[in-house]
A and B are shown apart, each in its own frame.
Chain A
């Protein structure tokens, strides 16, 4: 069965304390891996797409990387406004259009 597992479930950081979130996947054939940010009561907001092992994408304090088994979202010197739930999702070869398989997310809290 195709699975996406995110860890930790929750992460509390001090402002400026860098860390990484993990998304591990066991799937039949990965077409793409997506990272989204979700604020309370809002829909997922697109951050990155990664397609092949070794690929990296960056946006402000966030950097996403991909290996054959997992993806990391690195947060450098986070600020309180980075507090949110970060969702990882995969799209599979042979998967239907729009059928993303999501993980449960990592809830990040950044304290000033």
Chain B
């Protein structure tokens, strides 16, 4: 069964450093998303991306965050200057249709655990 693949599985970085989290969505999917989960808290929406542009972003997704689809297979999340509170699991997800369509669930990757020290 096709999967969403995320690398690395664990990233440790120092405060103030830039990190890039990488995702390979399911190949025929067109809609891409990033979520995060701080330890012990809810999974939270960050951003959705379609047709090479951001469709929607949450309040969490401030100017320190950016997303890109640099080629036909990768989808990346960049954090420009990491803060301690950015430590979390970051999940990439994809879907083949918009969520407003019937039966169009998000398929999640296994996440990147980001630790900011």
Contacts and interface: CB of A to CB of B under 8 A. Distances in A.
Interface of A: 31-32, 34, 36, 41-46, 49, 51, 87, 89, 91, 95-105
Given A31-B100, A43-B111, A97-B48, A102 B106 contact: no
A34 B58 CA distance: 20
Contacts of B75: none
Contact of A46 (B41, B50, B58, B105): B105
A43 B55 contact: no
Contact of B50 (A43, A89, A97): A97
A43 B50 CA distance: 21
Contacts of A87: 43
B56 interface: yes
Nearest to B32: A98
Residue among A87, A95, A98, A103 facing the most chain B CB atoms (10 A cut-off): A98
Interface residues of B, number: 30
Interface of B: 4, 6, 31, 33, 35, 41-45, 48, 50, 55-56, 58, 91, 93, 95, 98-100, 102-103, 105-111
Contacts of B6: 43
